[in-house]
Protein backbone atom coordinates (compact mmCIF):
# COMPACT_ATOMS: atom_id res chain seq x y z
CA UNK A 1 0.00 0.00 0.00
CA UNK A 2 2.78 2.47 0.91
CA UNK A 3 4.60 1.71 -2.33
CA UNK A 4 1.58 2.89 -4.33
CA UNK A 5 1.91 6.36 -2.75
CA UNK A 6 5.70 6.57 -2.72
CA UNK A 7 6.38 5.32 -6.25
CA UNK A 8 4.75 8.27 -8.11
CA UNK A 9 6.72 10.71 -5.94
CA UNK A 10 10.01 8.91 -6.62
CA UNK A 11 9.31 8.72 -10.35
CA UNK A 12 8.50 12.45 -10.52
CA UNK A 13 11.61 13.52 -8.60
CA UNK A 14 13.92 13.85 -11.66
CA UNK A 15 11.33 16.08 -13.38
CA UNK A 16 10.97 18.24 -10.27
CA UNK A 17 14.73 18.55 -9.87
CA UNK A 18 15.12 19.44 -13.55
CA UNK A 19 12.41 22.10 -13.21
CA UNK A 20 14.16 23.53 -10.12
CA UNK A 21 17.45 23.74 -12.03
CA UNK A 22 15.69 25.45 -14.97
CA UNK A 23 14.05 27.92 -12.58
CA UNK A 24 17.40 28.67 -10.92
CA UNK A 25 18.98 29.31 -14.34
CA UNK A 26 16.08 31.56 -15.32
CA UNK A 27 16.30 33.48 -12.05
CA UNK A 28 20.04 34.04 -12.56
CA UNK A 29 19.50 35.12 -16.17
CA UNK A 30 16.73 37.63 -15.43
CA UNK A 31 18.51 38.95 -12.34
CA UNK A 32 21.57 39.64 -14.50
CA UNK A 33 19.37 41.30 -17.11
CA UNK A 34 17.78 43.53 -14.45
CA UNK A 35 21.23 44.53 -13.22
CA UNK A 36 22.46 45.23 -16.75
CA UNK A 37 19.46 47.25 -17.96
CA UNK A 38 19.46 49.45 -14.88
CA UNK A 39 23.22 49.84 -14.93
CA UNK A 40 22.77 51.31 -18.41
CA UNK A 41 19.84 53.41 -17.11
CA UNK A 42 21.90 54.75 -14.20
CA UNK A 43 24.89 55.55 -16.45
CA UNK A 44 22.59 57.07 -19.08
CA UNK A 45 23.96 54.70 -21.71
CA UNK A 46 20.82 55.07 -23.79
CA UNK A 47 21.99 52.84 -26.63
CA UNK A 48 22.61 49.90 -24.28
CA UNK A 49 19.47 50.72 -22.28
CA UNK A 50 17.30 50.79 -25.39
CA UNK A 51 18.54 47.43 -26.59
CA UNK A 52 16.79 45.76 -23.63
CA UNK A 53 13.38 46.79 -25.02
CA UNK A 54 11.47 45.40 -27.98
CA UNK A 55 10.88 48.07 -30.63
CA UNK A 56 7.13 47.83 -29.95
CA UNK A 57 7.35 47.64 -26.15
CA UNK A 58 4.30 48.65 -24.16
CA UNK A 59 5.39 50.58 -21.07
CA UNK A 60 2.60 51.38 -18.62
CA UNK A 61 3.47 53.92 -15.91
CA UNK A 62 0.90 54.89 -13.30
CA UNK A 63 2.05 58.54 -13.26
CA UNK A 64 3.29 59.09 -16.82
CA UNK A 65 0.84 56.96 -18.80
CA UNK A 66 1.51 54.63 -21.72
CA UNK A 67 4.48 54.54 -24.08
CA UNK A 68 4.32 52.18 -27.06
CA UNK A 69 7.81 52.16 -28.50
CA UNK A 70 11.44 51.72 -27.56
CA UNK A 71 12.17 55.20 -28.88
CA UNK A 72 9.57 56.75 -26.55
CA UNK A 73 10.99 54.91 -23.52
CA UNK A 74 14.55 55.95 -24.36
CA UNK A 75 13.52 59.57 -24.98
CA UNK A 76 11.60 59.77 -21.68
CA UNK A 77 14.64 58.35 -19.89
CA UNK A 78 16.91 60.91 -21.56
CA UNK A 79 14.56 63.75 -20.68
CA UNK A 80 13.51 62.87 -17.13
CA UNK A 81 16.16 60.53 -15.72
CA UNK A 82 19.62 61.19 -17.15
CA UNK A 83 21.73 63.30 -14.84
CA UNK A 84 18.98 63.42 -12.22
CA UNK A 85 17.97 60.04 -10.83
CA UNK A 86 19.36 56.57 -10.29
CA UNK A 87 17.39 53.41 -9.68
CA UNK A 88 18.06 50.88 -6.92
CA UNK A 89 16.45 47.48 -6.67
CA UNK A 90 15.01 46.90 -3.18
CA UNK A 91 16.90 43.86 -1.88
CA UNK A 92 14.85 40.74 -1.42
CA UNK A 93 11.90 41.84 -3.57
CA UNK A 94 12.82 40.34 -6.94
CA UNK A 95 10.64 37.43 -8.09
CA UNK A 96 11.06 35.63 -11.41
CA UNK A 97 8.46 33.37 -13.03
CA UNK A 98 8.80 31.41 -16.28
CA UNK A 99 6.42 31.99 -19.17
CA UNK A 100 6.30 28.82 -21.25
CA UNK A 101 7.68 29.16 -24.77
CA UNK A 102 8.15 32.91 -24.31
CA UNK A 103 10.47 34.03 -21.52
CA UNK A 104 9.85 35.28 -18.02
CA UNK A 105 7.94 37.63 -15.77
CA UNK A 106 9.95 39.74 -13.35
CA UNK A 107 8.28 41.39 -10.36
CA UNK A 108 9.89 43.57 -7.72
CA UNK A 109 10.24 46.90 -5.99
CA UNK A 110 12.68 49.70 -6.61
CA UNK A 111 13.53 53.13 -5.31
CA UNK A 112 14.76 56.22 -7.07
CA UNK A 113 17.50 58.42 -5.66
CA UNK A 114 18.76 61.88 -6.56
CA UNK A 115 22.25 61.43 -8.01
CA UNK A 116 23.48 64.71 -6.53
CA UNK A 117 22.31 64.22 -2.94
CA UNK A 118 22.08 60.40 -2.87
CA UNK A 119 18.75 60.86 -1.09
CA UNK A 120 16.11 58.37 -2.20
CA UNK A 121 12.87 60.24 -2.80
CA UNK A 122 10.60 57.75 -4.49
CA UNK A 123 9.71 54.10 -4.62
CA UNK A 124 7.54 51.91 -6.78
CA UNK A 125 6.76 48.41 -7.96
CA UNK A 126 7.33 46.89 -11.36
CA UNK A 127 6.36 43.94 -13.51
CA UNK A 128 8.48 43.27 -16.58
CA UNK A 129 7.67 40.70 -19.26
CA UNK A 130 10.87 39.43 -20.87
CA UNK A 131 10.86 37.65 -24.25
CA UNK A 132 13.68 35.28 -25.12
CA UNK A 133 13.87 35.17 -28.89
CA UNK A 134 16.78 33.13 -30.24
CA UNK A 135 18.81 33.85 -27.11
CA UNK A 136 18.11 37.60 -27.19
CA UNK A 137 16.22 38.81 -24.13
CA UNK A 138 14.08 41.95 -24.42
CA UNK A 139 11.25 43.46 -22.43
CA UNK A 140 7.98 43.52 -24.34
CA UNK A 141 5.74 44.79 -21.55
CA UNK A 142 6.62 46.93 -18.54
CA UNK A 143 4.21 47.92 -15.81
CA UNK A 144 5.61 50.45 -13.35
CA UNK A 145 3.14 51.26 -10.59
CA UNK A 146 2.42 52.22 -6.99
CA UNK A 147 4.88 55.09 -7.11
CA UNK A 148 5.11 56.86 -3.78
CA UNK A 149 7.22 59.54 -2.22
CA UNK A 150 9.78 58.36 0.35
CA UNK A 151 10.10 60.58 3.40
Check whether domain 2-149 has CATH 3.90.550.50, yes or no: no
Distance CA 19, CA 97 (A): 12
Tens of pLDDT, residue by residue, the chain (151 residues): 555 554 455 455 555 444 455 778 999 999 999 999 999 999 999 999 999 999 999 999 999 999 999 999 999 999 999 999 999 999 999 999 999 999 999 999 999 999 999 999 999 999 999 999 999 999 999 999 999 999 8
Q: Are 52 and 136 in contact (CB under 8 A)?
A: no
Element (H, E) at 47: helix 46-50
At 18 the three-state DSSP class reads helix
| DSSP one-letter code for 69 | S
At 88 the three-state DSSP class reads strand
Amino acid sequence: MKLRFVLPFVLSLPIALSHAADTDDLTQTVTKLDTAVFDAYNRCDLKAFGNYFATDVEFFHDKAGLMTSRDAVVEATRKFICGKVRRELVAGTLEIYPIKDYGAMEVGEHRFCDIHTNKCHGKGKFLNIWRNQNGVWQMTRVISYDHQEVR
